[in-house]
Amino acid sequence: MTLPMTRDEAWELFCEWTPSESLRRHVLAVEACMRAYARKFGEDEELWGVTALLHDFDWEMHPTLEQHPQDGAPILREEGWPDEVIDAILSHAEHLSLPRDTLLKKTLFACDELSGFIVACGYVRPTGIDGLEVKSVKKKLKQPSFAAGVNRDDVTNSAEALGVDLDEHIAFVIAALQPHARELGLRTEADAA
Ligand SMILES: [Fe+2]
Ligand SMILES: [Fe+2]
């Protein structure tokens, strides 16, 4: 599919709209997971990557569910993004209750909350997500006070909707994020040595 801009241009556009370091890290984390899943599923990695980068592009300008992401969609349309990207971005929002009827939509939803949760697990470990085990992620999922903003039902339901085993999904996301630890602000084994 022809996209109106390159990945780096999409990133620049995102950053123009998003001064917040934490939101920048969030979309980079989702991008890393989406690219990994696109490779696994034999899908268009560039398309999946930019969809992830742009899915929260308007959040800082539209920081309420009355506006995000629906008021961002016309801006993306103006920029020439295809419906496939825009529809996937709209579908990540639970409050819009849109069908997640493509693999792209299902995967975006399954990576959105979980990637943030796993990065949060890494922030409280001296080696970040290096050596982070699935069972300790699951233990933290059972502690409501840890990363309380992450909706646990979304994590489990989205994996189920994607048709992946939750343990495998967690392991896959950890592995996808590992090469990006630095840009996500995570420590690594090298720091602890
Ligand atoms: Fe969002
Ligand atoms: Fe998000």
Amino acid at 167: D
Could you identify the residue written with the tokens 């493509």? 102
Averaged confidence pLDDT in the chain:
97
pLDDT digits 0-9 by tens, 96-139 = 999 999 999 999 999 999 999 999 999 999 999 999 999 999 99
Closest-lying ligand to the alpha carbon of 31? 2
Nearest ligand to the C-alpha atom of residue 116: 2
Distance (Å, whole) CA 158 – CA 25:
21
The one-letter amino acid code at 133 reads E
Say if pTM beats, i.e. exceeds, 0.85: yes
Stretch 44-57: mean pLDDT: 98
Query: In angstroms, what is the span from residue 58 Cα to ligand 1's centroid?
Result: 9
Contact 50, 3 (CB under 8 A): yes
Confidence of residue 95 (pLDDT cuts 50, 70, 90): very high
Q: Which residues surround ligand 1, an ion (CB under 5 A)?
A: 56
